[in-house]
Structure 1
């Protein structure tokens, strides 16, 4: 494991990651720092914990609404994919239920 010293919203943190994942972690830290600083600078929310929660919610919303640009999930959001997988589970469970009686 690699130890990295980072700063998020002016606070130092020591984080660990696997070797080779340092750049990805640094990018994530930079992104989170920008989000949290923007929320803090807007002046509506006080307290690091509340700012962190609002940043996490914003990032989660971005993730869920981001659409895949290629592959079998092109044009689908993560929420769409999750719903599709849940529907597949239901179909499979229904189809396989009679098989349980055979064993």
Structure 2
């Protein structure tokens, strides 16, 4: 990969150059911002000292959030994603049926 595929992100005031595909750049930057925010929260609490320990605590917190969302996705979104997609498909089918009926009639 070339250096044009390199993205520099800043986490706790340190720059990190990371090579990634161009289509993943925005996701990488978003992830770095999220991690930086979590690490800053932990550092500002004053309970954890040292970048390594802060990074581990941030990783544990983020992993916990992710696992919790996987366990209860319907609570966070007001219904499962599958149900939302099914509802959306039904609405699209209905709209297409209405449109087809209008053109033929």
Cα distance in 2, alignment partners of residues 25 and 35 from structure 1: 15
Cα distance in 2, alignment partners of residues 65 and 54 from structure 1: 16
| Structure ranking higher in helix proportion | 2
Residue 7 of structure 1, CA deviation? 0.5
The number of residues matched between the two structures is 72
| 1:24 lines up with 2:35 in the alignment | no
Alignment match, 2:44: 41
Secondary structure of residue in 2 paired with 1:13: strand
Alignment match, 1:4: 7
Which deviates the most, 15-24 or 56-65?
A: 15-24
**The one of 58, 82, 87 aligned to 1:71:** 82
Secondary structure of residue in 2 paired with 1:31: helix
Q: Which segments of 5 or more consecutive residues in structure 2 lack a partner in the other structure? A: 74-79, 84-105
- Runs of 4+ with deviation above 4 angstroms: none
**What RMSD in Å do the two structures reach over aligned CA positions?**
1.3
Alignment match, 1:89: none
The structure with the larger Rg is 2
